[in-house]
Amino acid sequence: MNPYLEILRPGNAIMAVIAVILIAIIGKNYNIPIILGIIAVFLATGAGNAINDYFDYKIDAINKPNRPIPSGRISLKTARIYSIILFLIAIVIGFIISFFVNSYLPTIIVIFNSILMYYYAYSLKSSVLFGNMAIAFLTASCFIFAGTILDLINISLYLGFFAFSMTLAREIIKDMEDYKGDKLEGAKTLPIKYGMKISAILAAIFILLASLLSPILYLNGIFNVYYLIPLGIAILIFLIAAFKILSDQSSENSRFVSKLIKIGMLIAFIAFAIGSF
């Protein structure tokens, strides 16, 4: 893969874009502002991933040496300039969206999230739990961003809460996966500060919270009954993930559980789309 595309981690960026697409599907609206919103979210998320790799290149040299910077395919200076340019393009697109929808909220969200992503990569990531919460907020805000474009704030807040809880759980588990490299670099993640068992319990709590509350979207009439079928599959995957992380906190199992949650979230997003028809 081209290193300038790889450093954006397109898989993660597309996950963020899916949030915007889901709100468009729910609102049955595919206008120019929402298309611009998709582009802005992809670029801003990619920029956030690139600047994160810029600040984390020493840790990545241990944990993920094949990434573009530690492998030498992109220099540190180039990665930083590249990310800043992408942030600025996303902000400009945010201004254009605000012009279309006659609201400054999309622009404010893009600017705030761009600053938060840079600050997260610079220092917030090393703070106990707050870094994880920042990533969870950024994921949830993709739904809210789309909601401001299509005037679907209430629905986007529901979906944002689900995304926040599941992403927070996954971020904690990813810190468990990266425990060895993070500890060598002196990072102050939740597993390092309070231990793997407590981290696993907290992650499981957020998984169970989102799983138990997700049927509310059907009970409140937001989604139809067909929403419950794929949702049931997603919840089963989430419950398996919670059980496995509670029983085994090794790096290998944490990596597997992180993938399980990602799969479960994808299925849950499909449930959101099906439930809106």
Predicted confidence at residue 81, as pLDDT, reads 96
pLDDT of res. 57: 84
Whole-model pTM?
0.88
Tell me the DSSP string of 54-71.
HHTHHHHHHH-TTSTTTT
Average pLDDT by stretches of 10, the chain with 277 residues:
90 90 91 96 96 87 84 92 97 97 96 96 82 93 96 91 94 89 77 92 95 87 90 96 95 93 92 87
pLDDT tens digits along 152-196: 998 899 999 999 999 999 999 999 998 877 777 677 788 998 999
* Segment 117-144, tens digit of pLDDT: 999 999 887 777 888 999 999 999 999 9
pLDDT of residue 154: 86
In order of 4, 92, 235, 256, the CA distances from 85 in angstroms are 13, 11, 39, 34
* Residue 194 burial (C-beta neighbours within 10 Å; 0-12, 13-18, 19+): middle
Residue 181: strand, helix, or coil: helix
Separation between Cα atoms, residue 229 and residue 220, nearest integer Å = 17
Domains and CATH numbers, the chain: 1-151 (1.10.357.140), 152-277 (1.20.120)
Q: What is the pLDDT of residue 235?
A: 95
pLDDT attached to residue 254: 93
Q: How many whole angstroms from its chain centre is CA 122?
A: 18
